[in-house]
Chain A
Amino acid sequence: MDCPRWWLDCLKDEATHCEASRRNGLAITLREALAVLAFGVAVALAANRLSPRGLTLTRNYFPGGNARPAPPAAATASRQNTNHPATPAPAELLAAQLKEHGLQLIDGSTAAQLFHDPRGQQGKIVFIDARDEAHYRAGHVPGAYEFDPYHPEKYFPTALPPCRAAEQIVVYCHGGDCDDSESAALLLRDVGIALNKLLIYGGGITEWTSNHWPVETDERNSGQPAPPAR
């Protein structure tokens, strides 16, 4: 192997330099690490602040509680189907968790019943989709309002008036271990929506679509049905 001449020269220079720096190696490394940490945190905070998707540090993104980790069932074994973001948690556990906040859990048949209830046409029953925009556009319960609880300020103007007028509000997210519907319901509670109007559909869109119930894509009331599942 023939090395370039300049590379070999560099190595000789480096040997002298290394010997000098090795003596103070640990102190230099620690000092550098502290500088990297301080400057890096400042840069990170600035980047988060400037990013349109940045987090608001003082906001409580999980009104249901930060210390509630997703149960291990949220993980998937390789032999299981990993297409869905979560697998269902026991309904009783979920109902008890929701009850702590005064929220009521409903099952798929109740959600479907409410969907077909004629009061829905009069705006007395409202569906709220608590997922992000991309998932909402990919397919939601027809007529459901978009309300991403992580960006509530964006959705309050459109979702709040119908919620105020409604007698019952069905809030859903992916289903299973997803608790974004709970977060969305608690945000609505915080702006004055009565708790007894808020119903959490625990099965979420995963159960809704697996039952082949109607789904529309794109914007609310677009009338575009989701393509049939393969």
Chain B
Amino acid sequence: MFRASTIFLPAFFLTVGTAQQPSVSERPDAQKAKVESGAIERGNQIYRPNCGFCHGIDARGAAGPDLARSLVVLNDIGGKDLGTFLRSGRPDAGMPAFAMLTAEQASDISAFLHARFEESRARRPMDVNAIVVGNAAEGAAFFKGEGKCSSCHNPNTDFKGIGAKYDPYVLQGRILNPRGGRGGPPIKPSTVKVTLPSGQTVNGQLVSVNDFSVTLMDAAGNRRTFARDNEQPRVEITDPYQAHLDNFLKMTDKHMHDLTAYLTSLK
């Protein structure tokens, strides 16, 4: 449905951060009872034999309903409402009553169920090394051949030890977009040629460009801005990363996986 910003640069950092460190985000509305560490395991021990048969070992439903979407469970704090419910059951729907259930046991079951859901909700971190599924030898062949990577990069010079410098997740992102990501070298600037109506041209390093202005730094170190109107003055940009930009439309998952495996192997 929605998801937080995909604005590239900050999101790139954020997502990488998430992949590295376990982060458990709390819902703003979460009113939680303090859970003592043994409660979850004790709850599991009660849950399995008594509830798992109908509701599934993972609480996602079997013969009985899925408890992950149960409002009784979601609204429960510390086993209070859950205990009341469990002690009377729902006999008309085939749910037996657990009349002997103590408040402590209800609290432990509640702790276990909430822990299961929070665990999934928290988007557990991915093992970044597990994403290396490609064939390094085929990646090397693509690097030197069809991919034309070797026209700019060399495993013995700029890419020496690159597999030790970046983890596979960052490497994979940088194959697509070398202008983002954590710990990369400074971004090489694009150069720009501005052709004024008089025919005069001004060259420099591109600072910024949009529909209505272009700003550059000329060879003398002067910052110069030109207003633009319907693509006048004419602006021609030379981007050192153009080959990567052109690759977006061509890159296959196979090539991406193989390149990731190959670059990861360059320790």
Q: Say whether A and B bind each other.
A: no
